[in-house]
Amino acid sequence: MAEEREYPQCKKCNEGVLVPLSDYGRDGAPITYKAWVCTNPDCGFNIRIDNGEISFGRTIGQSFK
């Protein structure tokens, strides 16, 4: 059974919600909640952790790795 969760509303657009994304590090270790992104495609707000630094608002796109 899927667990229901409530995610925070995006404070930039007030239309979408912020959903977490996870990733894997260079050595294959999981990085839980590496980024949070707005579900409203017109908004594009995101906040992420890169090499221990927090960044937000960068344009995001599909990775072809």
**The model's pTM:** 0.72
Q: For the segment 4-25, what is each residue's pLDDT rounded down to a tens digit?
A: 789 999 999 999 999 999 888 8
CA pair distance 37, 44, nearest whole angstrom? 7
The SS3 of residue 5 is coil
CA pair distance 61, 41, nearest whole angstrom? 11
pLDDT at position 61 is: 63
